[in-house]
């Protein structure tokens, strides 16, 4: 151990040498609280971002290919073309319609998504969220049954939506499309009445994302085609890729094949741009705000070093009289500030980890209608902890430069003048 480090450690101790001085404890405590708060906030906001991303990607596909207009008939050829690209896992057609669901005296506006049950499992994680296995397969709709009897189409409801409608597996609900009655003149002038049809509820799913669980219902897309009499047309094609973070490059490749005048290609980031932008902005703002706690703690280090310099001016004079250079004196006091920052940072990381584990295993009773999730997520990322530690140490070391430079410029005669 160099003599600069030895002197730095001795200066941080009290005169009795058994306990760290009070002012040093306060400085360490300031760094500890700042690092603990910053790591906790970073982990929790990162957890929110991951939770929303998992929910969005779990219910939706990674990439959407849609055709302008409502006459997307060549979707099967589009699927074959897309599946020929490297990095594509699967594709599946879908149909979207806003409709009204009613059960008894309860009604709710819903977003009905028509899927192909045999391929939908390969482009979304919905099967993981259903109350039992095989529910998506039960949605299969037979347009031309062997017995000639018209089959009642089946529907899968979000858990919150089912609660609002007070519907459960085995019930029959009525689905209405109000758009059928929006022709000029209205119903009184001979316009079409809204189309309605009964759907058999096969079960529910719970994704944990309230926005979907409370509004979206799944049916076989062929049932919606028959409902609207639109023939073999779809709204678009769901695409699942191997790497969700490389989806932008794949989207660019597909845009070169499918003309922008006819097709619209959107990835999951574009579809949820506002959500993820707000989360990222919130995370950065909170990180900057809690970084100020570390900055405040650095002023404690400055004050500590100034008080040590004032108290140890005689020792500084003796060191310089014995041949210590300005740089060696400066290093001595920089070591002191660095030790304070290191102790506070290490304990802050441990405290932040403890807070994250406590939050992860505590039920705060979040209202999913407000927060869109029913628990407080936490992401413990070693790299983020390392970045927080590096920033904290950088701030603490920079805080030592001023007082250390001042101590190094002290003349021996100033410290021994009154002795």
pLDDT, one tens digit per residue, over 2-58 is: 655 666 666 565 554 434 477 778 888 888 888 888 888 888 888 877 777 777 776
Helices (H), 60-205: 75-83, 117-120, 126-129, 135-138, 159-165
Query: pLDDT value at position 150?
Result: 67
Residue 182 has pLDDT above 50, yes or no: no
- For the chain, counts of helices (H) and of strands (E): 17, 9
The pTM score is: 0.65
> Six-digit token pair at 328?
């060696």
In this structure, what DSSP letter does residue 194 have? P
> Six-digit token pair at 331?
């290093």
What are the structural domain ranges in the chain?
Answer: 3-55+275-416, 69-260
Helices (H), 312-325: 313-321
Check: CB of residue 203 under 8 Å from CB of residue 209.
no
State mean pLDDT over 348-358.
91
Query: pLDDT value at position 141?
Result: 86
Check: CB of residue 303 under 8 Å from CB of residue 397.
no
Residue 183 has pLDDT above 50, yes or no: no
What 3-state class would DSSP assign to 73?
A: coil
CB contact set of 315 (below 8 Å; sequence gap of 6+): 7, 415
Instruction: Give the span between the Cα atoms of 29 and 37, in whole angstroms.
Output: 12
Phi and psi dihedrals of 77, rounded to 5?
-65, -35
Check: CB of residue 346 under 8 Å from CB of residue 390.
no
> Six-digit token pair at 364?
């705060």
Instruction: Point out which residues pair with 267 in neighbouring strands.
Output: 63
């Amino acid at each position: 151990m160099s003599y600069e480090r030895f002197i730095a450690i001795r200066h941080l101790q009290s005169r009795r040498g058994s306990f760290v001085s009070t002012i040093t404890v306060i400085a360490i405590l300031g760094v500890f609280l700042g690092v603990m708060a910053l790591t906790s906030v970073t982990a929790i906001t990162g957890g929110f971002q991951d939770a929303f991303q998992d929910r969005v990607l779990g219910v939706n596909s990674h990439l959407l290919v849609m055709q302008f207009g409502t006459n997307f008939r060549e979707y099967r050829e589009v699927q074959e073309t897309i599946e020929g690209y490297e990095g594509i896992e699967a594709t599946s057609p879908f149909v979207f319609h806003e409709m009204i669901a009613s059960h008894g005296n309860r009604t709710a506006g819903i977003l009905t998504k028509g899927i192909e049950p045999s391929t939908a499992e390969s482009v979304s994680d919905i099967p993981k969220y259903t109350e039992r296995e095989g529910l998506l397969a039960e949605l299969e709709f037979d347009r031309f049954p062997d017995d000639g009897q018209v089959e009642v189409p089946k529907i899968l409801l979000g858990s919150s939506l089912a609660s609002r409608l007070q519907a459960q597996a085995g019930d029959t609900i009525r689905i209405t499309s109000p758009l059928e009655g929006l022709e000029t003149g209205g119903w009184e002038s001979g316009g079409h009445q809204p189309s309605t049809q009964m759907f058999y509820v096969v079960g529910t799913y719970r994704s944990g994302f309230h926005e979907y669980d409370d509004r979206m219902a799944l049916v076989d897309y062929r049932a919606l085609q028959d409902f609207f009499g639109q023939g073999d047309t779809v709204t678009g094609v769901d695409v699942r890729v191997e790497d969700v973070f490389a989806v932008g490059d794949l989207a660019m490749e597909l845009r070169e094949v499918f003309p922008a005048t006819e097709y619209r290609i959107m990835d999951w980031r574009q579809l949820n741009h506002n959500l993820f932008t707000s989360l990222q902005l919130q995370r950065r703002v909170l990180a900057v705000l809690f970084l100020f706690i570390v900055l405040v703690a650095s002023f404690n280090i400055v004050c500590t070093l100034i008080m040590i310099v004032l108290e140890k001016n005689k020792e500084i004079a003796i060191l310089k009289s014995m041949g210590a250079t300005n740089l060696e004196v400066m290093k001595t006091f920089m070591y002191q500030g660095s030790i304070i920052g290191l102790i506070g940072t290490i304990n802050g990381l441990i405290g932040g980890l403890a807070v994250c584990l406590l939050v992860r295993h505590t039920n705060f009773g979040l209202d999913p209608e407000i927060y869109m999730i029913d628990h407080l997520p936490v992401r413990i990322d070693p790299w983020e902890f390392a970045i927080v530690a590096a920033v904290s140490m950088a701030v603490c070391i920079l805080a030592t430069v001023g007082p250390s430079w001042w101590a190094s410029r002290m003349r021996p005669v100033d410290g021994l003048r009154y002795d």
